[in-house]
Amino acid sequence: MPQGAARRRTSFRCRRTFGAAENRKKKGGAPLENKRICLLNDSFPPQLDGVANAIVNYASILQKTGTEVTVGIPEYPGVEDRYPFPVVRYPSINTTEWLGYRAGYPFTMEPVQALRNFRPDLIHCHCPVMSMVMARTLRELTGKPIVLTYHTKFDIDVGRAVRSEFLQKEALRMLCNNIEAADEVWTVSRGAGENMRKLGYQGDYLIMENGVDFPKGRVPDSELRKLDDEYGLDPKKPLFLFVGRMMWYKGIRIILDALKMQKEKGLAFTAVFVGSGLNLEEIVAYRDSLCLQAECLFPGAVQDRELLRAWYCRADLFLFPSTFDTNGIVVREAAACGLPSALVRGSCAAEGITDGENGLLVEENAESLAAVIGEVCGHPDALRRIGENAATQLYISWEDAVARAANRYEYLIEKFQGGIPERPALKFDGMFSALGGLIGGMSKVREESARLRMRYREHHFPFRGRYL
């Protein structure tokens, strides 16, 4: 770690939502002048998920408003990054069949050195796994603070990927260690913060909600008619929509079972499931076993944001009975389009929802969801009113969300301007100190070698290039 820069771990006792006190500076998203932010995450396009979407929007908006940004993420074979901000990819291992995404290997010198040379004022990590390893190494090299945003219920991910109970406990212990190592922790919802508590984290955190990159409002009717023509949709039938990764833990079985119940009662409808994922083949097979082939369509993942927006606008009700998601960006995307959502009561995705006012709440079972579907299909005017309230009460633009984060960045940069104070040591601190020292030492050796080679050329070939 650079001279004068020490590490710290502060113990906090309360949690709170980022609010007006910290938002007093640079209101409206003015740039962090002459400041550099390094964003790190384990997922990024072509991987499509909510956190990857968050990274793209953070980087794009910060760059647009004048802040220098660099993004560090695992590499994907054959991917060419064309963004208005620099992207540094580091080696990765193909773990998509196991984890659903590629696992980064952040121990290669060149990517770490490239991020170090960016000279960040603050490191913002969005995943407490391998990207946090990169963040901790980078802090050793730069002495700059780490903000960690906790987006996902990692205990569920770990439980799905690791069968051994002993290995699960060790993996979660390492996760908690990475969270505790951050200089400030953010979460995207209260429920995400409570999930961190289950992992063993006892520190403070701020709630920083994600935004939506859709403008508020509907697409032209002509775009909706294109969907009708392409997919043979009957405008007289209600259309139900799900958007997300095709994983069972998203509540998709509940949706299919509820739709089967309504079909048996004689309801004519169409349901569209937008997305891709590890369980897609199993989900389609289950749909077929319920004889819902004619009613349930799977158009795959949609990368065109305007096309996705058209699907939201074409639907009558968004079905999202997930207790896994910590924030539910898709719920706010639906709200931007005036589409009401059916959500599980008490879930993180349902935070801010008042039943019957700006959304619909169900129990975590197919019978409850089926009952709500049957009820709302008979009251389309009430459903539209709920959608309008959702647009008014739930919508947050990414510009506003990132402006709040930028204000907090500025506060933290000023707070740690004199270095990161000492803190009680955490497990693995020594490893990161050694890794940072090794990379720093190797960099100095390379720099010295380059300097000596230059002096050698100048001494032995003084006229080379002079008259070219």
Q: Phi/psi zone of residue 457: left (φ > 0), alpha (ψ -120 to 50 degrees), beta? A: alpha
Among 122-136, 166-180, 428-442, where is mean pLDDT lowest?
Answer: 428-442
Residue 231: inside a domain: yes
- Give per-residue pLDDT as tens, 98-127: 666 677 777 788 899 999 999 999 999 998
**9: confidence class by pLDDT, cuts 50, 70, 90:** very low
Residues 148, 235, single domain; the answer is no
Percent of the chain with pLDDT over 90: 59
CB–CB of 306/361 below 8 Å?
no
**Pairwise CA distance, residues 377 & 264, whole Å:** 15
**Pairwise CA distance, residues 428 & 177, whole Å:** 8
Element (H or E) spanning 344, and its range? strand 341-344
Residues 282, 233, single domain; the answer is yes
In the predicted structure, residue 443 carries a pLDDT above the cut 90: no
34 or 215, which is more confident? 215
- Give per-residue pLDDT as tens, 324-383: 887 778 999 999 999 999 999 999 899 999 999 999 999 999 999 999 999 999 899 999
In the predicted structure, residue 187 carries a pLDDT above the cut 70: yes
In the predicted structure, residue 3 carries a pLDDT above the cut 70: no
Residues 54, 177, single domain; the answer is yes
Q: How wide is the angle at C-alpha 153 spanned by C-alphas 148 and 155, nearest 5°? A: 110
Residue 418: inside a domain: yes
Average pLDDT over residues 27-46: 79
First vs last C-alpha separation in the chain: 44
- Structural domain that includes position 387: 221-395
CB-CB neighbours of 46 under 10 Å: 11
- Give per-residue pLDDT as tens, 43-63: 888 877 788 889 999 999 999
In the predicted structure, residue 11 carries a pLDDT above the cut 50: no
H-helix segments, 143-235: 154-161, 165-181, 190-199, 221-231
Report, in angstroms and rounded to the nearest whole number, the Rg of the chain calculated over CA atoms.
Answer: 25
Residues 83, 201, single domain; the answer is yes
Residues 343, 387, single domain; the answer is yes
Residue 296: inside a domain: yes
Predicted confidence at residue 2, as pLDDT, reads 44
Comparing CA positions, the residue from 178, 104, 113 lying closest to residue 148 is: 178
Question: Token pair of 444, please?
Answer: 């100095």
To the question of pTM greater than 0.85 for the whole model, the response is: no
CB–CB of 355/346 below 8 Å?
no
Number of domains in the chain: 2
Residue 376: inside a domain: yes
Residue 8: inside a domain: no
Mean pLDDT of the chain: 84
Residues 362, 406, single domain; the answer is no
**28: confidence class by pLDDT, cuts 50, 70, 90:** very low
Residues 383, 423, single domain; the answer is no
Predicted confidence at residue 239, as pLDDT, reads 98
Which CATH number do you get for residue 83? 3.40.50.2000
Question: Token pair of 74, please?
Answer: 């695992």
Residue 467: inside a domain: no
Residue 297: inside a domain: yes
Residues 22, 65, single domain; the answer is yes
Q: How wide is the angle at C-alpha 433 spanned by C-alphas 40 and 405, nearest 5°? A: 30
Residues 323, 384, single domain; the answer is yes
Residues 228, 188, single domain; the answer is no
Residues 58, 173, single domain; the answer is yes
In the predicted structure, residue 7 carries a pLDDT above the cut 50: no
Coil, strand or helix at 148 = strand
DSSP calls for 55-101: HHHHHHHHHHTT-EEEEEEE--TT-----SS-EEEE-EE--HHHHSS
Residue 277: inside a domain: yes
Residues 251, 314, single domain; the answer is yes
Q: Give the C-alpha distances (Å, rounded to integers) separating 368 from 139, 271, 327, 358, 407.
A: 49, 17, 22, 18, 42
CB neighbour class for 281 (10 Å; exposed up to 12, middle 13-18, buried from 19): exposed
